[in-house]
Amino acid sequence: MAEEFPAVSGSLVEQRAPFWRRTGTVVTSAALAAALFGGVTGGVVGALNAPDATTAAVSSPAALRTGAPSTSDVSSIAARVLPSVVQVNVTTDQGEGLGSGVVLSGDGRILTNNHVVAGARQVTVTLADGRTVDASVLGSDASSDLAVLRAEGVSGLTPAVFADSDQVRIGDQVVAIGSPEGLQGTVTSGIVSALDRTVTVPATTGRRDAAVSYQAIQTDASINPGNSGGPLVNAAGEVVGINSAIYSPAADSGQAGSVGIGFAIPSNEVQQIIGQLTA
């Protein structure tokens, strides 16, 4: 079974997920599902109640950039980023699950979502070259939904490059990479569809032991269970966010899937937390 994203459904949510209400520009989770995808019910699916016409409005003014990405653009971005993306495999008391991760250093430090590894008794990572190695949790922060792992006995990995997420604009081309439903190395593309969405996931969602709240980058790039912890990158192949939640009208049935509304934790917030987790 694949791991789940925090998904938000139109008005209903998966039983394990909190509900979302939208007020102005705030998305409050009444049923938010974690983007931890793979084989464990670690993430949850939620419902986003947004009946008003302002749902698609952004929370702050932003310049628009136009221009659809070409196939060659996406292929060159993927070629740069794929070596820096891994699959994270976990075993918990409930079963097996998986998510995605981003290489931080050549000696095996890897970033993922906290909900991907929460409660894990064993963690392994499958590298871009197909090797699977043991990993340990160096540090995790439930409140930000981020964790740093250490892949054992590796060297020469390709670290991802992080961008300034404050420079992201609505309409920017973005690419998401990860292991949706265990399909490692899956690449999807889209644009930044909104900025500064206030996303809140209650502690009761999935295996979370603390509420999570962040100002999210919203994208229409397709992300699904298993993409949790994977990168959202810009046209230069630089990480602008970590994929962590999706909206899904099917969340109430437990079958969360992409409908073109996904949320990523901005890279600037991520980099601040990485420093704390690895200090």
Question: Which residue's structure tokens are 């949850």?
Answer: 44
How many angstroms from the chain centroid is the CA of residue 51? 25
Q: How many CB atoms lie within 10 A of CB 247?
A: 29
Amino acid present at 33:
A
| Residue 228 annotated to the active site | yes
One of 9, 84, 145, 220 is an active-site residue; which one? 145
One of 228, 244, 258, 267 is an active-site residue; which one? 228
Rounded Cα distance, 43 and 212, in Å: 12
Asked if 29 and 20 touch (Cβ cutoff 8 Å), the reply is: yes
Question: Which residue's structure tokens are 């790039």?
Answer: 221
> Strands 19-23 and 45-49, how do they pair?
parallel
Rounded Cα distance, 30 and 36, in Å: 18
| Residue 134 annotated to the active site | no
| Residue 100 annotated to the active site | no
One of 115, 172, 189, 252 is an active-site residue; which one? 115
Amino acid present at 65:
R
Which of 151, 106, 125 lies closest to 230 in space, CA to CA? 125
The SS3 call for residue 182 is helix
Q: Which residues are catalytic?
A: 115, 145, 228
